[in-house]
Structure 1
Amino acid sequence: MKKIILGVSVFCLVAFASSCKEDASKKINENNVAEAAVRDANASKFPVIEFDKTEHDFGEIDAKTQVETVFKYKNTGDAPLVITDIKSSCGCTVPKDWSREPLAPGATGQFSVKFNGSGTNKISKTITVTANTEQGRETVKITAFVKPDPTKTK
């Protein structure tokens, strides 16, 4: 009796499996395949941010003197560039005035960086740009030589 039940079960399983193959092949929609191919091709396209300069040197500045510079950039990639955030390595450096709107391929943009002149001697600050580029983060730097504050006692 066990052999008969096992035989019928195997027969049903084989019959069910063979009928599923025909149904699955009929369900493939060629339009969906074409759309998926286009989507996959576009997924490999990234924007590329290219800066006019990756480092700015303010030179020698007096302590507590505020200075500012502008970093210009261009989207040289194949997809719209979206900058989601720009942060500096310390609170004495403030990036501002960047567009959060998508930047089309070939278009340009800019942001400014203000440094408040804190610290002494040679300083270097890193500004990190978070965007939808392949790496996800790009960096630029500012440097300066801050002269000691003559009114400050040691």
Structure 2
Amino acid sequence: MKKLFAGIALFGTFAIAAAQTITFDKTTFDYGTIKPSSDGTRYFTVTNTGDKPLVISNVKASCGCTTPEFSTDPIMPGKSAKIKVGYNTAINGGFNKMIEVFSNDPANSRSVIYIKGTVDANAAEVAAAPAKAEPVADAKKVSKKVKKVASK
């Protein structure tokens, strides 16, 4: 009887291990500081690291300013797909948005990914401003100072 229970438990372990598994290339995408009305589209790569087809059934954003797009086509084992996430960059200020990904992964049927960043009207001016060059010291004066310090 013990062997029967052990066999059933072992079979159950293999049945769980033989499943679709969702894996993301990253769980947070940081936009950094961007200018208003710039391209707010980013992509998350989803990979099926299991051995059965993975199906993404739904992707929900935490608010209307974030728009996810995805395919419900099965992702075969070892293959990848993209989740396209758009953020409305006309909204000024910082943002940190949650996106829920629902799949047939038995261990992670609900996964969460994030986008974050800052939309700043001054970002364009900072990026466009030329860097100020520091004056270069006269090489002879620098070498004299080094020699004086070294001889002390």
Please classify the TM superposition score into its range, dividing by the shorter chain length.
0.5 to 0.7
The residue number in structure 1 matching 2:144 is none
The residue number in structure 1 matching 2:21 is 48
- Supply the RMSD in Å over aligned alpha carbons: 2.5
Letter matched to residue 57 of structure 1 = D
Within 2, Cα distance between the matches of 1:106 and 1:91?
33
**How far off is 1:47 after superposition?**
1.2
Within 2, Cα distance between the matches of 1:118 and 1:128?
23
The residue number in structure 2 matching 1:139 is 112
**SS of residue in 2 equivalent to 1:100:** coil
Within 1, Cα distance between the matches of 2:85 and 2:115?
9
The residue number in structure 2 matching 1:125 is 97
- Contact 1:121/1:148 (8 A) holds in 2: no
Q: Please give the residue correspondences for 1:3-152 in structure 2 after superposition, counting only pairs within 5 Å.
A: 44=16, 45-96=18-69, 98-117=70-89, 119-133=91-105, 134-147=107-120
**SS of residue in 1 equivalent to 2:64:** coil
Within 1, Cα distance between the matches of 2:15 and 2:36?
48
Q: List runs of 5+ in structure 2 lacking aligned partners.
A: 1-10, 123-152
Normalising to structure 2: TM-score of the pair?
A: 0.64
Between structure 1 and structure 2, the one with the greater Rg is 1
Runs of 4+ off more than 4 Å = 39-43
**How far off is 1:89 after superposition?**
0.6
Q: List runs of 5+ in structure 1 lacking aligned partners.
A: 1-38, 150-154
Normalising to structure 1: TM-score of the pair?
A: 0.63
Aligned length: 112
